[in-house]
Structure 1
Amino acid sequence: ADGSYSFTPGTDFDGLAAGENRDVTFSYTATDNDGGVSEPKTVTITVTGTNDAPVAVADTQTTGENSVLSGQVPAATDVDGTIAGYDLATDVGTGNGSLTFNADGSYTFTPGTDFDSLAAGESRDVTFSYTATDNDGGVSEPKAVTITVTGTNDAPVAQAGTVTTEENTLLTGQVPAATDVDGTIAGY
């Protein structure tokens, strides 16, 4: 043996806060070519903690096309600190309603009229992502929150109309066309 060694700090050290130290020791002896053995000596290895990034968690939620969803991202974890807050990484995107995201991880998603064209029972997924930040400034990998928006039957919209006629005159006509954003008009 030539006296070399290697040491890889394992996950037991992940709980060290940034700048916090923990010592690891081992003893060794030296042997000469005549069989003489030295007194045992100790090598001390000081492991200094670094800031481990927090770990955020993905989530799924559901809501109806006309229902506002108030939610909270899952609690992130941090082996060597505390979670200081959350940030929006990517928004829901144009045409997917609106999202209000708060630093405590709470959010409000409003589907709005963007989903009125969904038929009853039809669904569409909307995704946003967020990150968690710890008390030492570490930032997690972005994680997605997927919201499944389910359609409901939207009532048709009838249109008003105005028609004039002279007295004692038969009037025939057609009522103004109604519209149905998620279906067809079956009758009047």
Structure 2
Amino acid sequence: MRVLVLYSIRVTATIVIFPPLTFVGTYTVQDDFFKTATAPLTVTITGVNDAPVAVADTNSGLTKTIITGSVATNDYDVDDGTILTYSLISAVDGLTLNSDGSYSFDTSHASYSNLPFGQTLNVVANYQVKDEYDAFSNSSLTITLTAFGNNPTSGNDTLNGTTGDDILIGGQGADRLTGGKGADIFRYDSLVDIGDTITDFEVGIDKIDLSRVLLGIGYLGSDPHQLSF
């Protein structure tokens, strides 16, 4: 004799939030004579942990300043409620990376003191972000450092300004000075500085400061600090 069996499921549903996610209910089986039986049914769904995703970051600033920011702003993890922890893969002079992804970069560190005025240096910090299950992702923070206030050398230097208002001092040698955007001042401290090339002087915006040269040769006229061309 053939018996037809029909099943139906009734979920009375007790849900336990992941991990794990569990549904508890009952199911009923019925044959073609309408005889039935019930039994409990438990469905447990175990999620798979996804690793966080670290995205490369950039920042910029001047030497002899503190540059701050956070590498956490563009990183993410698709798992809800994930706790992320940050750390440097290798140490970088002057840089402190906190566990929440915020950082502080002290550019007055001796490692950057010899960068010629106006020159730039890309400081790259490799970091790791890890979730509470030790899944991780690596990325990098690149900070473009522009030398400000460092002493020029006695050779033939190339000095580049920023998009702001810069003061460029070539020092001795036949230097090449580029102010960039902003109202820049090209300053000469002595007669031995003369011989530089200014590549982008903007009349009415940029200035040439000769006040220290004039003071050095005993200029006795009007206030030399007011003299700029």
Deviations along 1:40-70, one digit per CA (max 9) or x if unpaired, are xxxxx98642111111221001011111111
Identity of aligned residues (%): 30
Q: Work out the number of aligned pairs and report it.
A: 122
Q: Is the 8 A contact 2:67 2:104 kept in 1?
A: yes
Amino acid at match of 1:60: T
Selected match of 1:68 from 66, 69, 82: 66
Match of 1:131 in 2: 128
Runs (4 or more) in structure 1 with deviation over 3 Å come to 16-22, 45-48, 182-188
Selected match of 2:142 from 143, 146, 156: 146
Q: 1:83 to 1:147 in 2, by over 3 A?
A: farther
The whole-number CA distance in structure 1 between the counterparts of 2:19 and 2:123 is 37
User: Structure 2 matches for 1:58-137, cutoff 5 A?
Assistant: 58-75=56-73, 76-93=75-92, 97-111=93-107, 112-134=109-131, 136-137=132-133
The whole-number CA distance in structure 1 between the counterparts of 2:22 and 2:59 is 42
Q: 1:64 to 1:141 in 2, by over 3 A?
A: same
TM-score w.r.t. the length of structure 1 is: 0.53
TM-score w.r.t. the length of structure 2 is: 0.45
Offset at residue 150 of structure 1 (A)? 0.6
The whole-number CA distance in structure 2 between the counterparts of 1:18 and 1:56 is 24
Offset at residue 17 of structure 1 (A)? 5.2
The whole-number CA distance in structure 1 between the counterparts of 2:149 and 2:123 is 20
Deviations along 1:13-49, one digit per CA (max 9) or x if unpaired, are xxx9554479xxxxxxxxxxxxxxxxxxxxxx98642
Q: Is the 8 A contact 1:17 1:81 kept in 2?
A: no
Offset at residue 81 of structure 1 (A)? 2.9
Deviations along 1:125-161, one digit per CA (max 9) or x if unpaired, are 1111222233x424321110011111124358xxxxx
Selected match of 1:50 from 45, 48, 51: 48
Q: 1:18 to 1:56 in 2, by over 3 A?
A: farther
Structure 2 unaligned runs (5+)? Answer: 1-16, 24-42, 153-169, 174-189, 193-215, 217-229
Q: Is the 8 A contact 2:57 2:141 kept in 1?
A: yes
Q: Is the 8 A contact 2:88 2:97 kept in 1?
A: no
Amino acid at match of 2:111: D
Deviations along 1:56-98, one digit per CA (max 9) or x if unpaired, are 22100101111111111133211123342322232344xxx31
User: Structure 2 matches for 1:154-173, cutoff 5 A?
Assistant: 154-155=150-151
Q: CA RMSD in A?
A: 3.0
Match of 1:8 in 2: none
Amino acid at match of 1:116: S
Q: 1:71 to 1:106 in 2, by over 3 A?
A: same
